[in-house]
Amino acid sequence: MNLRIFELERFQSLYENTVPYNLTESGFHPFTLKELLSTAEIEALTDTVLGYGQTNGSILLRKRIAALYKGYNEDNVLVTNGSSEANFVACHSLLKKGDEVVIMVPNYMQVWGIAEEMGCLPKAFHLIEKNGWSVDLDELQSQVSSKAKMITVCNPNNPTGYILTDLEMKEIVRIAERVGAWILADEIYRGAELSGEETKSFIGMYDKVLVNGGLSKAYALPGLRLGWLAGDIKTIADAWAYHDYTSITAGILSHTVGEIALRPEMRTKIFDRNRSMLRENLKIVEEWISKYRHIIRFTPPQGGGMAFMHYSLDINSTDLSDWLRKEKGIFIVAGDWYGMDNYVRIGIGAEKEYLLAGIDILTKALQERFGV
């Protein structure tokens, strides 16, 4: 098999449901149906015919998604089983063996693995921690050759929480235009900004843009497994053809609940709840880190549900994650899974009391093993 094991997803799948305290989640504490929907809406769901529905997404759902992007309609949208499928069908629609794919790092590394499996050459350009995790545009310029078919970005970024500036976005577009490369923009954290100002989309900045979105992160609805691609009509039609060979369709109940979640007044309710949770929890994490400035280096996120930090301890990040999980019952993400040892990622979208309990365990563990 030419496909590498996707370490981040594999390790989370193996252990996140078997530990007392899982701090690997990259989104917000999920809603229940009762929290999200009215009694009448829940009752209406019981009358849903459990058929396939329209395989590229119901018209009403795609209209709701299209409304997020200026100038788009339902034909510019393909609904997928989560944003992971969206990435898969996007790559298989646009790439071929020998193409170069220039990928923002750190990042959710799914596209890197897909590109390798397809016989493409993945190349990295980096966010620079000493510059507040801003993007190294000079490196991007040098990495984009005439063979580059795609530039991939994650904005707001997983795991750093960095949000590209308008100038950075324009420069990424300029570099892509120079060689005619596509931009695949993972915007699944759009709506989870600490400032309350929704992140600008790459849609409308360039004619060769595909956007990956979904309800798992900023919307706190991962169990719906509802994602999408948005882009020009022809490319979306090509992606639909691949979707016919992968999952065929997202679930009909997800279509219905997803459409409700994307109504303007519901989006406001969801985002307000999640941003409030993020602001409160970030204060807790920052206060905790302030006690460990001698061993922890941390740039606070601008958005998303994660805290990504560097530590100065004599232990590999996977070994640290394994020890905490096995011996202390708490699970955190190893920087190794991003190709960055001596970093860890902690989810800060959990309920406050859960996060506080987890941090208490981390504090005692650091004292016990490292004397700090």
At a CB cut-off of 8 Å and minimum separation 6, what does 189 contact? 154, 155, 156, 157, 158, 161, 199, 217, 218, 303, 304, 305
Candidates 294, 361, 360; CA nearest to 324 is 361
Q: Based on C-alpha coordinates, what's the Rg of the chain? A: 20
**Per-residue tokens: 170:** 């324009």
**Could you identify the residue written with the tokens 């984009």?**
144
Q: What is the three-state SS of 337-357?
A: HHCCCCEEEEECCCCHHHHHH
User: What CA dihedral angle connects 238, 239, 240 and 244, to 10 degrees?
Assistant: 110
pLDDT digits (tens, 9 = 90+) for 163-213: 999 999 999 999 999 999 999 999 999 999 999 999 999 999 999 999 999
Fold observed for domain 49-263 = Aspartate Aminotransferase; domain 2 (3.40.640)
Candidates 4, 372, 352, 79; CA nearest to 239 is 79
Task: Annotate 81-120 with b (16+ C-beta within 10 A) or e (fewer).
Answer: bbbbbbbbbbbbbbbeeebbbbbbbbbbbbbbbbbeebeb
At a CB cut-off of 8 Å and minimum separation 6, what does 41 contact? 260
Within this chain, domains 7-32+267-366 and 49-263 share the same CATH topology: no
pLDDT computed for residue 17 by the predictor: 83
Q: Where are the extended beta strands (E) located within the chain?
A: 21-22, 77-81, 100-105, 121-128, 134-135, 148-154, 182-186, 209-214, 226-230, 296-298, 306-311, 330-331, 333-334, 343-347
Averaged over successive runs of 10 residues, the pLDDT of the chain (372 residues) comes to 75 83 93 95 94 95 98 98 97 97 96 95 98 98 98 98 98 98 98 97 97 97 97 97 95 96 97 97 97 96 96 97 96 94 96 96 95 90
* Alpha carbon distance 213, 189 (integer Å): 8
**Per-residue tokens: 367:** 């004292």
pLDDT computed for residue 11 by the predictor: 81
Backbone angles phi, psi at 101, to 5 degrees: -125, 120
Question: How many residues appear in the chain?
Answer: 372
pLDDT computed for residue 30 by the predictor: 96
The helix/strand/coil state of 160 is coil
**CATH of range 7-32+267-366; options 3.30.230.80, 1.10.3720.10, 3.90.1150.10, 3.40.50.11740:** 3.90.1150.10
The domain limits of the chain are: 7-32+267-366, 49-263
**DSSP secondary structure code for residue 303 in this structure:** B
In this structure, how many other beta carbons lie within 10 angstroms of the beta carbon of residue 149? 21
pLDDT digits (tens, 9 = 90+) for 95-143: 999 999 999 999 999 999 999 999 999 999 999 999 999 999 999 999 9
